[in-house]
Amino acid sequence: MRAAFGERPVNLHRLDLVSLSLFNLVVGTGSISKGAALANLAVGALAVLDERADLRIFADRTPPLGLQTVPYRNDRLVLVVPKAHPLAARKAIDFVDAADFEFVSLAASTSLAQRMQSEAEAVGKRLRLRIQVRSFDAMCQMVAAGLGVAVLPDAAIQPHLRSMGLRKIDLRDAWVHRTLLLGARDLKALPRPARVLLDHLLKGRARRSSA
- Is residue 108 domain-shared with residue 159, that is, in the same domain? yes
Alpha-carbon distance of 105 to 129, in angstroms, equals 7
For residue 88, count other CB atoms closer than 10 A to its CB.
15
- Is residue 36 domain-shared with residue 111, that is, in the same domain? no
- Cβ proximity of 166 and 142 under 8 Å: no
- Is residue 159 domain-shared with residue 84, that is, in the same domain? yes
- Is residue 89 domain-shared with residue 154, that is, in the same domain? yes
- The pLDDT tens digits along the chain (211 residues) read 444 434 444 444 444 444 444 434 443 443 333 332 222 223 344 444 455 567 787 788 777 778 899 998 888 999 999 999 999 999 999 999 999 999 999 998 888 898 999 999 999 999 999 999 988 999 999 999 999 999 999 988 999 999 999 999 999 999 999 998 888 889 999 888 788 888 888 887 656 555 5
- Is residue 170 domain-shared with residue 92, that is, in the same domain? yes
- Is residue 12 domain-shared with residue 103, that is, in the same domain? no
- Is residue 158 domain-shared with residue 108, that is, in the same domain? yes
CATH number at residue 111: 3.40.190.10
Could you tell me the residue range of the domain that residue 68 belongs to?
2-72+178-210
Task: Report residue 163 CA to chain centroid gap.
Answer: 20
Alpha-carbon distance of 102 to 19, in angstroms, equals 28
- Is residue 63 domain-shared with residue 81, that is, in the same domain? no
Of the candidates 13, 204, 169, 187, the one whose C-alpha atom is nearest the C-alpha of residue 77 is: 169
Alpha-carbon distance of 14 to 33, in angstroms, equals 20
- Is residue 83 domain-shared with residue 153, that is, in the same domain? yes
- Is residue 173 domain-shared with residue 123, that is, in the same domain? yes
The pLDDT of residue 83: 95
Alpha helices in 74-123, H assignment, sequence order: 111-122
Domain count, the chain: 2
pTM assigned to the model: 0.72
- Is residue 108 domain-shared with residue 126, that is, in the same domain? yes
What letters, b where the CB count within 10 A reaches 16 and e where it falls short, cover 155-180?
A: ebbeebeeebebbbbebebeebebeb
Residues counted in the chain: 211
Alpha-carbon distance of 38 to 46, in angstroms, equals 20
- Is residue 126 domain-shared with residue 182, that is, in the same domain? no
